[in-house]
Amino acid sequence: MGDKFLFANSEKEDADVCIFGMPFDSTTSFKPGTRLGPRAIRDASYNLEFYSMALERNIRDIKIFDAGDTGFYTNPQHAISEISEQTRELLKSDKFIVGLGGEHTVSYGIAHAMKEIYKDVAVIQFDAHADLRTVYDFEKFSHACVMNLIGNDIGFENIYQFGIRSGEEEELKFAEKTNFFPLHKYDTAQILEILDELNIDKKVYLTIDIDVLDPAYAPGVGTPEPGGITSNEMFKILNSLKKFDIVGFDVVEVNPMVDMSGITAMLAAKIIREGILNFR
């Protein structure tokens, strides 16, 4: 289709929103291929309308720049370092960040830079998996450890985890340090109530692992987990998040190699459109 996200209609200097891809998947062991996610999401965006019926807003009215992709690395620390550098540069220019994954490890690069810039930051995570392991396949810089890495940076009390429905026993005991709302205890209606009552008085980064959705809606993921939320519920959640001071978000773990008919990439593209319209 194109090298840019459909809605990227501005140059960097003038833009309010900056999109960039993070084509990394070297620690994924089950179904690799999320490195191709940024391209698939951009291609899918060309099937979207500019106008959101639900929000009654046109994304043409927002100045958006697509910075392309970070470099491709097989070493996670190298990938994280470049992502952090890209994030720092954009934040210093007062840009709202939208990251396209890539496996979930990439979110640590963004969160790490946000901590440096804002000092006091919270992270809201929507995910099927807790991602709180200290090591996975002998690697601590891993998609299965990303929230542990972020928690060590920003403080686990500043992490809010929703939609989780899978994790190791020791990992879930560790989740007691975070604000943990697993899906078997908190359905979508309860999540919306929690978000309505929640007060976070700091900058917020939102990370959305696309596998938070049920595989019926998002089959093209690295680690599918049955029993997730619906796409319509995801859009309601996005709308409920606009009360927070969100300075950026990502959508990660889209895997085009197992994405039947491209429906997961299409969903990710629409989440990005609705996210931008909700938060800017």
- pLDDT at residue 260, rounded to an integer: 87
Task: Decide if 12 is inside a domain.
Answer: no
Reported residue count of the chain is: 280
- Cα–Cα distance measured from residue 155 to residue 265, given in angstroms and rounded to the nearest whole number: 32
Could you tell me if 157 and 179 are in contact, meaning their C-beta atoms sit under 8 angstroms apart?
yes
**pTM across the whole model:** 0.96
Q: What gap in Å lies between CA 4 and CA 227, rounded to an integer?
A: 33
- Host domain of residue 215: 17-279
Asked if residues 44 and 272 have their Cβ atoms less than 8 Å apart, the reply is: no
Q: What is the pLDDT of residue 263?
A: 97
Q: Residue-wise over 60-86: b if at least 16 C-beta within 10 A, else e?
A: eebbbbbbebbeebeebebbbebbbeb
Residue 5 placed within a domain: no
Which of the two residues, 135 and 231, has the higher pLDDT score? 231
Q: How confident is the model at residue 72 (pLDDT cuts 50, 70, 90)?
A: confident
- Average pLDDT on 142-163 reads 96
Q: What pLDDT score does 29 carry? A: 55
Quick check: is 3 in a domain? no
pLDDT in tens, 103-129: 999 999 999 999 999 999 999 999 999
Predicted confidence at residue 116, as pLDDT, reads: 96
Is residue 11, in this structure, part of any structural domain at all?
A: no
227-259, pLDDT tens digit by residue?
A: 999 999 999 999 999 999 999 999 999 999 999
Phi and psi (nearest 5°) for 120? -115, 105
Within-domain flag for 116: yes
Total count of domains within the chain: 1
Domain contains 38: yes
SS (H, E, C) the chain: CCCCCCCCCCCCCCCCEEEEEECCCCCCCCCCCHHHHHHHHHHHHCCCCCEECCCCEEHHHCCEEEEEECCCCCCHHHHHHHHHHHHHHHHHCCCEEEEEECCCCHHHHHHHHHHHHHCCEEEEEECCECCCCCCECCECCCCCCHHHHHHHHHCHHHEEEECCCECCHHHHHHHHHCEEECCCCCCHHHHHHHHHHCCCCCEEEEEEEHHHECCCCCCCECCCCCCCECHHHHHHHHHHHHHCCEEEEEEECECHHHCHHHHHHHHHHHHHHHHHHHHC
The model's pLDDT over 169-222, given as tens digits with 9 standing for 90+, comes to 888 888 999 999 999 999 999 999 999 999 999 999 999 999 999 999 999 998
Work out the mean pLDDT of the chain and round it to a whole number.
94
Higher pLDDT residue, 219 or 142?
A: 219
| CATH number for position 69 | 3.40.800.10
Does any domain span residue 7? no
pLDDT above 80 (res 279): yes
Let me know if residue 6 belongs to a domain: no
Q: What is the pLDDT of residue 135?
A: 81
Q: What is the pLDDT of residue 2?
A: 61
CB contact at 8 A, 105 and 77: no
Taking alpha carbons only, the member of 173, 181, 175, 212 closest to residue 198 is 181
